[in-house]
Amino acid sequence: MIEIEDELLKWRFKRGSREALARIYEKYVHLLLSVAMGLLNDPHEAEDVVQDMFVSFAKNAAGLGIRGNLRAFLATCVINRARDRARSELSRKRHADTYTPASSDVSEPDQSLVYSERCERLNRALAELPYEQREVIVLKIKQEMTLKEIARLQGVTISTVHGRYRYGMEKLRALLDSEI
Amino acid sequence: MRGNQNFEDIVRKDLNVRASDGTFDRMRDIVLGAHEPAQTNTSATALMMKRRTLMRSPVTKLGIAAAIIAVVGLGIVEFIGTGSTSAVAWAEVAKNVEASPGVIWRLRTTGSRDPNDDWPNSYKITWRSPAITRTDRYRGGQIYRTLYYNVDAKTTIWVAHDAKKYNKEAMSDAQVQQVRADKDRWTNPQSAINHLLALKHHALDQKMIDGVLCEGIETTDATGLPFKSFTARGWVSVETGYPVLVEAEVIDDGNVRHTYTLDQFRWNVDLSAENVEPEIPADYEPL
């Protein structure tokens, strides 16, 4: 659903409004961080991806072709960047060898990102899934995209997306249940 | 074993990451520091094309949806002085609506005979001020058509986003008069409230709509309207006194059922031309 406020923000931003950019950032930064974390399971990577996306967004006000939903547009930008990172050898190596959670306690004041232990556990389980399944789950549940929209984004059929979602959820549930 | 919906809810709730205050501020500074404002486009007047093309002219058509707005507006007016115990100051509602310099709303419809109708994914967003009317039509979450009229500048712009085509042209004096007449009569929610004072209605119980406490009215009076059956409801925020939701169901003389939902209203919006005139992407071609 397209919000009227977003339509106004898009227009004002494209017309050069700094206030509109600030509002867009404030409105969506946390959601986008959640999406990025769900995809990358790394707070540093998630922060980098979201910040890079917003910087690129801020630099290209005039050239952006946002013809639809602002939230979906921003999420798609994050997804594309996250996908690139997830597929890079560097990212894989970092996940496998050197990653340790930067934040696992909401009470720690000096962490860059703040999330609960349950979130950390969920992200760990998500990271066990094949990337395409993880992406479908995060997009459908957190970003509230339809299977049709996800299929378009992933370049596959709706039935493929449905299968990825079903198998991914089954595995995710098994992983989380096994920890209880 | 958790239920599917329950498990989705858990994932939705648990996957919640926030930037710390320091990170939020630092990223915000970086993002705003990178901001490079766009250049203001050349005005539509300067770009007006001489070529005439077939102009799609929705404002010349008497929209049923506009009538719905009018009906609800009527109801609002009729509440004035009725002795209602309503929490809404209905007289103030009428004044506020009429005084709003610009208004934006979304319209969703069903029942169209248009084979391309894909409810619930299609809708229109209309921006309206005394000088400007802009309607963006969306399908599947994507904008596919924009229609823009500026009766002060005597300019009209039509954009087919799906075909990457556009047309800009001057409006004749007759067209301007027609648009002004239509705006005054039906298609302007601010003025339409004065035109249908005769319909009967009754008050509805208060209810919450999108977290807003609202008070409503309902009418089934189809007098003077080209419908076999007609029910419309309008809901006004108790706090702000502005309309929040308008919904209606009609059965036309061809026994086709139509529904109309107008929501996401924004009142008192500055709709100056430079904020509302559609931009034409560089890869779009003139018709």
The answer to whether B139 contacts chain A (CB < 8 Å) is: no
The answer to whether B7 contacts chain A (CB < 8 Å) is: yes
Q: Is residue B149 part of a domain?
A: no
pLDDT band, residue B234 (cuts 50/70/90): confident
Which residues 180-209 of chain B have a CB within 8 Å of chain A? none
Smallest CA–CA distance, residue B133 to chain A, in Å, is 15
Q: Is residue B254 part of a domain?
A: yes
CB contacts < 8 A, A to B, total 156
Least confident of A121-125, A139-143, B247-251: B247-251
The answer to whether B281 contacts chain A (CB < 8 Å) is: yes
Residue-averaged pLDDT of chain B: 72
> Does A116-180 match A1-103 at the fold level?
no
Residue-averaged pLDDT of chain A: 81
pLDDT band, residue A126 (cuts 50/70/90): very high
For A152, nearest residue in chain B (alpha carbons):
B140
Look at residues B232, B234, B233, B239 and name the one whose alpha carbon lies nearest to residue B213: B239
CA distance A137 to A150: 10
Which residues 62-91 of chain A have a CB within 8 Å of chain B? 62, 65, 67-69, 72
Domain ranges in chain A are 1-103, 116-180
Q: Is residue B20 part of a domain?
A: no
Residue with tokens 């409503």: B216
Q: Do A2 and B19 touch (CB under 8 A)?
A: no
The answer to whether A117 contacts chain B (CB < 8 Å) is: no
pLDDT band, residue A117 (cuts 50/70/90): confident
Q: Is residue B39 part of a domain?
A: no
Which residues 21-80 of chain B have a CB within 8 Å of chain A? 22-24, 27-28, 30-32, 34-40
pLDDT band, residue B29 (cuts 50/70/90): very high
Is the Cβ–Cβ distance between A117 and A103 less than 8 Å?
no
Residue A89: count other Cβ atoms within 10 Å of its Cβ.
Answer: 7
For A104, nearest residue in chain B (alpha carbons):
B17
Q: For residue range B94-136, list pLDDT tens digits in order.
A: 778 778 888 898 888 776 555 455 556 678 898 888 889 898 9
DSSP assignment of B161-199 equals TTTTEEEEEEPPHHHHHHHHHHIIIII-HHHHTTS-TT-
The answer to whether B85 contacts chain A (CB < 8 Å) is: no
Q: Is residue B233 part of a domain?
A: yes
CA distance B78 to B104: 24
Topology adopted by domain A1-103:
Rna Polymerase Sigma Factor; Chain: A (1.10.1740)
Smallest CA–CA distance, residue B197 to chain A, in Å, is 30
Smallest CA–CA distance, residue A132 to chain B, in Å, is 17
Q: Is residue B99 part of a domain?
A: yes
Q: Can you tell me the ipTM of this complex?
A: 0.83
For A58, nearest residue in chain B (alpha carbons):
B35
CA distance A131 to A111: 26
Topology adopted by domain A116-180:
Arc Repressor Mutant, subunit A (1.10.10)
Q: For residue range B48-64, list pLDDT tens digits in order.
A: 222 222 222 233 233 44
**Secondary structure (3-state) at B208:** strand
CATH of the domain at B84: 2.50.20
Query: CA geometry: angle at A136 spanning A43 and B23, to 5°?
Result: 20
Q: Do A68 and B8 touch (CB under 8 A)?
A: no
Q: Do A141 and B14 touch (CB under 8 A)?
A: no
